[in-house]
């Protein structure tokens, strides 16, 4: 009996919506279908007019819904008001929104064989109080073919809907009449039965929703009613708790708002593929921004570890929340909470910081490499200059810091051959200079040989021989001649006069006389700059005059 009674008062109606206004279909997988049930009852139950059938309180109401999706492009539903009364509804997505562009959609509701339909029954005199009042003054629109067109725009957690519709979206109440196009025709005569309403009047409907996790808070106006409520979204079902016809709070009884409770389920889990997303990780050094190869990626929830070769890592995971820890020797562990979304690639960037101990080691390593480079360059320079003892010290320093340094090993291997070669060259030069009686340079070459080989016999004997040759025998001393009296030294004034005379001779082109005069000036004052300059110029003129170029 309960099941029979349930279907007697049940209604399968309307496509996907917020509370009462339509939205684009959520049945976006081919073969997806679902159904639900909603129970509503009036907030107030008083009946101040028991003998007035128009103003009688609204009854309790069940609403049953069955929907079939068209692969995300549209949706069909069937409505049953009584076992012998049916209607159809459908919607179609005209253009699906992407990014900042909205979704446009349209639909037709209440396709039936009667002009007036409500959740209570058919015919114009049947319905809620406001619908019966509309009918009493001849302004109740046909709910048959309630066509609409609308748009939806999503902003992160916000969702807005705006549309125009006829039929059930058009109201003629104290407040609802301002939301339909007859406002411009009837004006304040919306309740005057002698004034005809337009059969093609369109009403405005709009609403907004805010998502907070699985919860969605909704407020909407559909042209006849103002509704507010909350939905709870689960993977397998959606629950609704709403307050419909909120505008009736401002009307006298028996007008009343309505409590609405509902639940809807679909076969999404049966027809959709695995709820899988993916992550793409990049692991870098926080300072150098270089990729860190072979880091360990630990995912707590699945108790697995992976190696990020080359500093990158990609993995598909079931949608959900995960705790990821990045582990790399000499670096601090990096832990992060991440969310993997279905059919979405989540890109993650992990910048790891070195431990203090590793930073100290790295600093020491950098200093060591710097010392190796410096010592090696010094060794090469000494080698090229022939200072082989210093070169050997520099290369030994490199090998003490890095025993496997190939460059230092190579130079050390050929250093002794270079030493022998230079000893031969310096010895030959020393002997050649000795024969040429260039004893000073010969001495220098023998000293270079001793620097390269302190036990070299040729250098040990060659140096004393040179020293003897470089020591001149003392000449017999001559008896001292009586000293001549010193000539008097010229004064500055006399030197200046003599210099002026030389300049005059130069100007008069008496170059031989001028040269003689300037030499006299320099004999008296060797550092006389003017005399030096004029002497050079005079000698140059004489050379030119004699044809010397």
In a domain, 445, yes or no: yes
- Pair type for strands 295-299 and 158-165: unpaired
Report the C-alpha gap between 281 and 283 in whole angstroms: 6
Q: What is the domain extent for residue 282?
A: 276-354
Please tell me the predicted confidence (pLDDT) of residue 471: 82
Query: Is the domain of 65 the same as that of 204?
Result: yes
Q: Find the angle CA(47)-CA(53)-CA(54) to the nearest 5 degrees.
A: 90
Average pLDDT value for the chain: 85
Residue pair 115/124 in contact by the 8 Å Cβ criterion? yes
Last residue of some domain: 271, 306, 326?
271
Look at residues 54, 149, 137, 151 and name the one whose alpha carbon lies nearest to residue 97.
Answer: 151
Query: Is the domain of 328 the same as that of 380?
Result: no
Taking only the tens place, the pLDDT of each residue in 152-182 is 998 888 999 999 999 888 887 778 778 888 7
Last residue of some domain: 222, 239, 271?
271
Please tell me the predicted confidence (pLDDT) of residue 251: 83
Query: Is the domain of 42 the same as that of 120?
Result: yes
Query: Is the domain of 534 the same as that of 400?
Result: no
Please tell me the predicted confidence (pLDDT) of residue 207: 94
Res. 198: pLDDT tops 70: yes
Residue pair 164/106 in contact by the 8 Å Cβ criterion? no
3-class DSSP state for residue 543? helix
How far from the centroid of its chain's Cα atoms is residue 56's Cα?
Answer: 64
Taking only the tens place, the pLDDT of each residue in 346-390 is 999 999 999 999 889 888 989 999 999 999 999 999 888 888 888
Please compute the mean of the pLDDT values over residues 286-295 and round it to a whole number: 91
In a domain, 483, yes or no: no
Give the chain's domain count.
4
Residue pair 524/490 in contact by the 8 Å Cβ criterion? yes
Query: Is the domain of 73 the same as that of 214?
Result: yes
In a domain, 485, yes or no: no
Please compute the mean of the pLDDT values over residues 116-140 and round it to a whole number: 74
Residue 163 maps to which CATH number? 2.40.160.40
Band the pLDDT of 281: cuts 50, 70, 90: very high
Please tell me the predicted confidence (pLDDT) of residue 466: 84
Please tell me the predicted confidence (pLDDT) of residue 95: 93
In a domain, 307, yes or no: yes
Please compute the mean of the pLDDT values over residues 448-465 and round it to a whole number: 87
In a domain, 52, yes or no: yes
Query: Is the domain of 105 the same as that of 196?
Result: yes
Query: Is the domain of 327 the same as that of 390?
Result: no
3-class DSSP state for residue 146? strand
Please tell me the predicted confidence (pLDDT) of residue 483: 60
Query: Is the domain of 104 the same as that of 253?
Result: yes
Look at residues 101, 99, 118 and name the one whose alpha carbon lies nearest to residue 110.
Answer: 118
Query: Is the domain of 369 the same as that of 458?
Result: yes
In a domain, 478, yes or no: no
Residue pair 36/65 in contact by the 8 Å Cβ criterion? yes
Res. 126: pLDDT tops 70: yes
Report the C-alpha gap between 247 and 178 in whole angstroms: 14
Query: CB neighbours (10 Å) of residue 254?
Result: 20
In a domain, 365, yes or no: yes
Taking only the tens place, the pLDDT of each residue in 40-85 is 888 887 887 777 777 778 888 777 788 898 888 999 998 776 677 6
Under the phi-then-psi rule, with left for phi > 0, alpha for psi from -120 to 50, and beta for the rest, what region is 105?
beta
Residue 313 maps to which CATH number? 2.60.40.1120
Please tell me the predicted confidence (pLDDT) of residue 305: 92
Q: Find the angle CA(539)-CA(543)-CA(549) to the nearest 5 degrees.
A: 135
Please tell me the predicted confidence (pLDDT) of residue 163: 94
Contacts of 319 (CB under 8 A, 6+ apart): 275, 276, 277, 340, 341, 342
Look at residues 147, 158, 140 and name the one whose alpha carbon lies nearest to residue 111.
Answer: 147
Residue 410 maps to which CATH number? 1.25.40
3-class DSSP state for residue 199? coil
HEC assignment per residue over 293-338: CCEEEEEHHHCEEEEEHHHEEEEEEECEEEEEEEECCCECCEEEEE
pTM (two decimals): 0.53
Listed range (108-122, 384-398, 526-540) with the worst mean pLDDT: 108-122
Taking only the tens place, the pLDDT of each residue in 490-517 is 788 888 888 899 999 998 888 888 999 9
Report the C-alpha gap between 523 and 517 in whole angstroms: 10
Taking only the tens place, the pLDDT of each residue in 312-328 is 989 999 989 999 999 99
R_g over Cα of the chain: 55
Taking only the tens place, the pLDDT of each residue in 214-225 is 999 999 998 788
Query: Is the domain of 208 the same as that of 70?
Result: yes
Query: Is the domain of 264 the same as that of 296?
Result: no
Last residue of some domain: 225, 245, 271?
271
Query: Is the domain of 46 the same as that of 140?
Result: yes
Residue pair 263/330 in contact by the 8 Å Cβ criterion? no
Res. 456: pLDDT tops 50: yes
In a domain, 177, yes or no: yes
The DSSP code sequence of 383-451 is HHHT-HHHHHHHHHHHHHH-TT-HHHHHHHHHHHHHHHHHHHHHHHHHHHHHHTT-HHHHHHHHHHHHH
């Amino acid at each position: 009996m309960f099941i029979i009674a349930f279907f007697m008062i049940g209604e399968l109606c309307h496509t996907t919506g917020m509370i009462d206004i339509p939205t684009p279909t959520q049945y976006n997988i081919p073969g997806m279908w679902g159904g639900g049930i909603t129970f509503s009852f009036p907030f107030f139950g008083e009946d101040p007019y028991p003998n007035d059938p128009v103003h009688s309180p609204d009854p309790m109401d069940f609403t049953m819904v069955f929907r079939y999706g068209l692969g995300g492009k549209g949706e069909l539903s069937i409505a049953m008001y009584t076992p012998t009364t049916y209607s159809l509804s459908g919607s179609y997505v005209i253009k699906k929104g992407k990014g900042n562009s909205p979704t446009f959609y349209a639909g037709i509701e209440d396709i039936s064989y009667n002009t007036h339909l409500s959740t209570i029954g058919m015919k114009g005199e049947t319905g809620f109080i406001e619908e019966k009042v509309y009918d009493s003054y001849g302004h109740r629109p046909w709910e048959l073919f309630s066509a609409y067109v609308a748009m939806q725009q999503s902003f992160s957690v916000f969702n807005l809907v705006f549309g125009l519709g006829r039929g059930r979206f058009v109201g003629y109440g104290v407040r609802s009449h301002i939301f339909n196009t007859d406002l411009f025709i009837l004006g304040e005569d919306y309740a005057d039965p002698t004034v005809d309403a337009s059969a093609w009047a369109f009403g405005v409907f709009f609403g907004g929703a805010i998502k907070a996790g699985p919860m969605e808070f909704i407020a909407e106006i559909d042209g006849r009613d103002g509704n507010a409520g909350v939905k709870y979204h689960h993977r397998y079902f959606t629950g609704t708790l709403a307050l419909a016809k909120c505008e009736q709070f401002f009307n006298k009884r028996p007008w009343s708002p309505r409590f609405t409770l509902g639940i809807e389920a679909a076969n999404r889990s049966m027809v959709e593929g695995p709820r899988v997303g993916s992550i793409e990780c990049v692991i870098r050094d926080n300072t150098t921004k270089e990729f860190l190869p072979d880091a360990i990626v630990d995912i707590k929830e699945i108790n697995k570890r992976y190696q990020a070769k080359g500093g990158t890592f990609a993995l598909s995971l079931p949608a959900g929340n995960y705790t990821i820890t990045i582990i790399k020797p000499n670096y601090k562990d990096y832990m992060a909470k991440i969310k993997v979304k279905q059919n979405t690639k989540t890109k993650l960037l992990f910048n790891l910081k070195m431990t203090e101990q590793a930073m100290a080691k790295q600093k020491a390593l950098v200093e060591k490499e710097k010392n190796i480079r410096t010592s090696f360059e010094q060794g090469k320079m000494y080698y090229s200059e022939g200072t082989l003892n210093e070169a050997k010290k520099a290369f030994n320093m490199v090998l003490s810091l890095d025993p496997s340094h190939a460059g230092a090993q190579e130079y050390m291997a050929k250093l002794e051959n270079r030493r022998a070669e230079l000893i031969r060259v310096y010895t030959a030069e020393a002997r050649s200079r000795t024969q040429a009686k260039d004893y000073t340079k010969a001495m220098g070459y023998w000293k270079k040989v001793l620097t390269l080989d302190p036990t070299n016999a040729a250098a040990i004997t060659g140096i004393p021989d040179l020293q003897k040759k470089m020591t001149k025998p003392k000449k017999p001393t001559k008896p001292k001649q009586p000293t001549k009296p010193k000539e008097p030294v010229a004064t500055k004034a006399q030197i200046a006069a003599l210099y002026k005379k030389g300049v005059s001779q130069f100007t008069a082109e008496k170059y031989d006389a001028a040269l003689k005069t300037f030499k006299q000036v320099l004999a008296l004052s060797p550092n006389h700059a003017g005399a030096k300059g004029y002497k050079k110029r005079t000698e140059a003129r004489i050379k030119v005059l004699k044809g010397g170029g």
